[in-house]
Amino acid sequence: MNEVRVKSLLNKHKKRDHWFLGDYTLNPYAGCSMGCIYCYTRGSKYGGDHGTIVSAKSNAVPILKKQLKNCIRKNERGFIVLGSSADPYPTLETELKLTSEILGLIKRYRFPLHILTKSTLVLRDIEIFHGIKDVAILPTGLENKLDSGIILSFSFSTLNEKIAKILEPGAPSPIKRLKIMKKFSEAGFKTGIINMPQQ
């Protein structure tokens, strides 16, 4: 297993991202196992090699705990976008459960969450998501616009299985993603589709 240590995990935006409602971004892993050929992080410091090397941020939990406490002290509670540059559920997460630990902290400190993923493993943490939904405090400006402090968005580039294998070789099939999305929707979660890039 590859590990990296970080000085910061929670990245604050200068202003709220109106696409994803994010005040903060958070990525538990460096690199992504999905291997999507269209990923915007290719060629950047966030991209890794897109498919074979994924590194866990080994000190993520204590760093995040400190940062969340600091945000509360400064009255800077806001939406956290989890998975903005690397899927929070790479293959490594199955055993490591780093994302699950991070979700536990987000729930503990009552931050709202928008999770972006292609993974079906996300269903494993549905009980933690229910907990976040029950306790999350919406930030100023969104209290009367949203009825929940959690959003789950699933990324798709195509529903064609053959094309998906070319574009997203490490991702679960689009049909499997749709089935997981349906389960979350039926469980009362606000769900959405990220259709990028559009055909």
d(C-alpha 164, C-alpha 162), whole Å:
5
Residue 34 has pLDDT above 90, yes or no: no
Low-confidence winner among 45-54, 86-95, 102-111, 153-162 (lowest mean pLDDT):
45-54
CATH class for the region spanning 2-195: alpha beta
- Per the CB < 8 A criterion, the answer to whether 27 and 83 are in contact is yes
Q: Is residue 1's pLDDT more than 80?
A: no
pLDDT at 65: 97
pTM above 0.85, yes or no: yes
For the chain, the helix, strand and coil percentages under 3-state DSSP, each to the nearest 5: 30, 20, 50
* Domain parsing of the chain, residue ranges: 2-195
